Amino acid sequence: MSLTCPLCRGALLPAEKFYRCEQGHAFDLAKESYLSLLHGRQKGEGRGDSKAMILARDRVHRAGVFDPLVSALAALPFEKSPRNILELGCGEGFFLGHMVRAHGIPTSYGLDLSVDAVKLAAKTLKQSLILRADLLNALPFADGSLNLIQSIFAPRPLAEISRVLRPGGYALFVYPQTDHWQELRAFLPLAKIGEEKLPADLEGFTAVASVHVTGKIELTHAVLVDLVEMSPSIHRLTREETPWQSLLPASLAATLSLRVALFRKA
């Protein structure tokens, strides 16, 4: 078992409706079956994506908008199937589920801070253990215990990723390129996509694959609304009371442009 107690770092083991470490720290399984590792003052934290953002992302995924990414993930060149996987910022679990199925991964963990994300992920991914935790804290896993960690459109705590990956384990990152959905910007003042900060050479890792997933995708008005709703720009548009839905076209052919980067720990 690779899960560790966020309070004392001892092994965290399953009991009936909770997980407990040898020191007696206990964490309840929610009725929706996710495990909340938030403790003390963290418990009241409402950070992470809102319910509206999670539901909009779920609809976009179901509409097949990211199918080219799903195919690229399925084609990743692992030497052999990883025995376990952790997704950091797993949202409602769409890409975690695909990776588990495509690569036959027997043990899987999803981690997110948003309560609405972990509820939906736990409901959809019955075989995965879904954790509610802050990925900016120490990750609740033992040193060298994981074979694959992925962060897709989510933060990447590199030092912790390196600590919990075993030697030969994989780190997988997916992030947007500057021209991602660029046509949408003619209609709305969306947040800029910054130049990617991830260096080509990660210390202690070897680059295994770097794939540019790109193509023109036909987006309906409903999908365009959801793409905006699930993005961080929604906070500013709402705050400034921009009538943003009516500014979007009936349909749009827009550029999907993503980088998939796979690294292997030395």
Site for ligand SAM, rule CB under 6 A: 48-49, 57, 89-91, 94-95, 112-114, 117, 134-136, 152-155
Backbone angles phi, psi at 70, to 5 degrees: -55, -45
Residue closer to ligand SAM (CB basis): 155 or 189:
155
Smallest separation (angstroms) from ligand SAM to the CB of 72: 13
SS3 151: strand
Taking a C-beta distance cutoff of 8 angstroms, is the pair 65, 219 a contact?
A: yes
Residue closer to ligand SAM (CB basis): 50 or 162:
50
Smallest separation (angstroms) from ligand SAM to the CB of 199: 21
Residue closer to ligand SAM (CB basis): 89 or 169:
89
Distance CA 150, CA 100 (A): 12
Question: SS3 for 212-266, per residue?
Answer: EEEEEEEEEHHHHHHHHHCCCHHHHHHHCCCCHHHHCCCEEEEEEEEEEEEEEEC
Residue closer to ligand SAM (CB basis): 165 or 227:
227
Backbone angles phi, psi at 197, to 5 degrees: -90, -10
Smallest separation (angstroms) from ligand SAM to the CB of 184: 16
Residue closer to ligand SAM (CB basis): 9 or 59:
59
Query: How many CB atoms are located within 10 Å of the residue 8 CB?
Result: 13
Smallest separation (angstroms) from ligand SAM to the CB of 22: 26
Smallest separation (angstroms) from ligand SAM to the CB of 167: 26
Distance CA 235, CA 244 (A): 12
